[in-house]
Amino acid sequence: MPLADARLSPPASNPAPRLFALVPCAGVGERSGADGPKQYAVLMNRSLVAHTLAALAEVPGLSATLVVLSPQDTQFEREVPAFAGWVARVGGTTRAQSVANGLAELARRGAGPLDWVLVHDAARCMLRPEWVTTLIDACLPDAVGGLLALPVPDTIKTEGQGRHEGRAMATVSRGGKWLAQTPQMFRLQPLRDALAAAVAGVTDEASAMEAQGHAPRLVPGALENFKVTFPADFDLAERLLRTRA
């Protein structure tokens, strides 16, 4: 086992680590076209984040779910009245800052350094509990942790710049390439350390861990587990939710 991975394994005498979910929910959704933060857009008579949290509530084994909000958020309790987890208005200006602040809050509330944290996007509202269980089962015996992801099925093009903007300039091999999803599951303290050392270009928890020399496990996810980002995504999510209903 590589040294970078071995130091993440808990001593055999330690009690079994617990599982916590952390949902960064402090963004404004600038690309979504929604009237206000996209996490509060209504789908099937329920806010987007309410769908997300309802799925997490059905995952067996989670000790608690912490939602990280912007300090200026005044909507959450009104939009998700049934939420029975933890809320902390400690969100930062970036996702990484919000997650780092959320990890500190979990530690303050009693989570241990070797407890597992599953970070999930509020905007991945199509989440199913069984996908999370699959991730947990794959990562619990792993020294590092991992993430849900999908192998890239399509040909990848590189867009040109300047006068070639909007034109395909090269084809990139799709072999060995995956689309990262969430949840992403890592132990609390190693993830805190990785985010504290993070530099520009770190866009998710796995990339922060990779920058520290760790190799997160790729756990096959589902196409439905997409992140609602652009205006058309809301219509797709609504149609899929209606199909489930």
User: Tens of pLDDT along 213-243?
Assistant: 999 999 999 999 999 999 999 999 999 999 9
- pLDDT of residue 118 exceeding 80: yes
Question: What is the structure's pLDDT at 199?
Answer: 78
By the 10 Å C-beta count (0-12 exposed, 13-18 middle, 19+ buried), 48 is classed as: buried
Tell whether pTM > 0.85.
Answer: yes
User: Tens of pLDDT along 199-210?
Assistant: 777 899 999 999
Question: What is the structure's pLDDT at 198?
Answer: 86
Question: What is the structure's pLDDT at 4?
Answer: 44
DSSP, res 46: E
Structural domains of the chain sorted by starting position, each given as residue range(s) with its CATH number in brackets:
15-148+180-244 (3.90.550.10)
In this prediction, residues 48-74 reach a mean pLDDT of: 97
CB-based contacts of 241: which residues, under 8 Å, 6+ apart?
A: 43, 44, 51, 125, 126
- pLDDT of residue 128 exceeding 90: yes
User: Tens of pLDDT along 130-146?
Assistant: 999 999 999 999 999 99
Return mean pLDDT, the chain.
91
